[in-house]
Amino acid sequence: MLTSRRLETPVERPRRLRRTAALRALVRETRLHPEMFIYPIFVRPGRRMREPIPSMPGQERLSVDLLAGEAEALRGLGVKAVLLFGLPEEKDGTGSGAYDDEGIIQRGVRALRAADPELLIMTDVCLCEYTTHGHCGIVADGAVDNDATLDVLARTAVSQAAAGADVVAPSAMMDGQVGAIRAALDEAALSGVAIMGYSAKHASAFFGPFREAAGSAPQFGDRRGYQMDPANAREAEREIALDLAEGADVVMVKPALAYLDVIHRVRPHVPVPLAAYNVSGEYAMVKAAAAQGWLDERLGALEILTAIVRAGADLIITYHAKEAAQWLAT
Ligand code: PBG
Ligand code: ZN
């Protein structure tokens, strides 16, 4: 009787360190901090325009004149980095709005820089928001021409960097895009501007809300000819190795939540900071479920962000940045 009771008594009691909030905080293995968040902003034409994005509750397209106020709000929350996406006045076949020195992103960068010299400003380098066909590159004979696109991406990055971007982030998934941009920046005496490559960007259904927000859905076909197959993780290693060889300062896995294994897998091979993009569809899912009362948004969003860091990400691009910063402060 006595011996069998002894056998049932656990020797190891992990629950001891879960007993109080202070103990749990003391032994927590993964921590979130607002300084690891990058907040995406959609910049639109017009004045005093604050246009809600229906598929992304809480997110808005902002006109350039409202960016100073946004910078102030971010500073107050302790969010120190933004990633800009532009909705141009006009689109054309070659996406020339992307490299217009008076383009929407360029004006947005200058407004933010003037408002807050310390804000870390990143810009998305792609053509899909600027082309009438909505593809991420130059289309020739119904297909995206990789090498013709490189020149345009490089020109775009130089124009954004000249406007004051700290980091340019090519997302077009063209082969050689990081190398082409690095060479062009260096040639333009912008060697101090960093490149964050969207290195392992998968062709994902979770970009859906973003395409509505940015008006960048492809008008024919899809992006599977240039973005990665969601089934591939070894290929992510290859894409990241190529971007590192081409001079990327930061590499990225995108999306994040359905690709935690990819983040974890590439981490040991990435000596530079590793970013993860907690994309629009991941945000929209949490918002939609929370709106139904089906889950607690604060706990759910922080759990996802924690998981992304636990998997191995150093930085997270997230639409939840402002709310998460607030939650972490209280
Ligand atoms: C443009 C771009 C996309 C995203 C970032 N840059 C969309 C796409 O490739 O279709 C997705 C971001 C998100 O879903 O939050 N190349
Ligand atoms: Zn694109």
* Coil/strand/helix, residue 63: strand
Using CA atoms, how far apart are residues 37 and 313, in angstroms rounded to an integer? 11
**pLDDT confidence tier of residue 2, bands split at 50, 70 and 90:** low
Ligand 1: residue of 37, 39, 43, 126 to mutate (most ligand atoms within 8 A of CB) is 126
Chain segment 264-309, per-residue pLDDT in tens: 999 999 999 999 999 999 999 999 999 999 999 999 999 999 999 9
Above 90 in pLDDT, residue 179?
yes
Determine the pLDDT at residue 4: 59
Average pLDDT over residues 226-233: 98
Chain segment 9-62, per-residue pLDDT in tens: 999 999 999 999 999 999 999 999 999 999 999 999 999 999 999 999 999 999
Find out whether the beta carbon of 126 lies less than 6 Å from any atom of ligand 1: yes
Find out whether the beta carbon of 124 lies less than 6 Å from any atom of ligand 1: yes
Determine the pLDDT at residue 8: 86
The residues spanned by each domain of the chain are 31-328
Determine the pLDDT at residue 220: 96
Average pLDDT over residues 324-328: 98
**What is the atom index within ligand 1 of the atom nearest the CA of 207?**
14
Chain segment 101-134, per-residue pLDDT in tens: 999 999 999 999 999 999 999 999 999 999 999 9
- List the CATH code of the domain at 31-328: 3.20.20.70
* Coil/strand/helix, residue 303: helix
Helix axes 146-163, 104-115, angle to 10 degrees: 30
Chain segment 82-101, per-residue pLDDT in tens: 999 999 999 999 999 999 99
pLDDT more than 90, % of the chain = 97
Tokens linked to 135:
């593809």
> Which ligand has the nearest atom to the CA of 214?
1
Average pLDDT over residues 211-218: 94
Report DSSP letters for 246-290, one per residue: TT-SEEEEESSGGGHHHHHHHGGG--S-EEEEE-HHHHHHHHHHH
Find out whether the beta carbon of 243 lies less than 6 Å from any atom of ligand 1: no
For Cα atoms 282, 70, 172, give the angle at the middle one, nearest 5 degrees: 45
Above 60 in pLDDT, residue 1?
no
pLDDT more than 70, % of the chain = 98
Q: Which helix (H) or strand (E) holds 109?
A: helix 104-115
Mean pLDDT taken over the chain: 97
Above 80 in pLDDT, residue 3?
no
Residue 254: active-site member: yes
Ligand 1: residue of 56, 128, 206 to mutate (most ligand atoms within 8 A of CB) is 128
Find out whether the beta carbon of 80 lies less than 6 Å from any atom of ligand 1: no
Using CA atoms, how far apart are residues 120 and 75, in angstroms rounded to an integer? 11
CA of 171 to the centre of ligand 1 (A): 7
The model's pTM is: 0.97
CA of 66 to the centre of ligand 1 (A): 23
Find out whether the beta carbon of 154 lies less than 6 Å from any atom of ligand 1: no
Determine the pLDDT at residue 270: 98
Tokens linked to 43:
């910049």
Using CA atoms, how far apart are residues 183 and 57, in angstroms rounded to an integer? 39
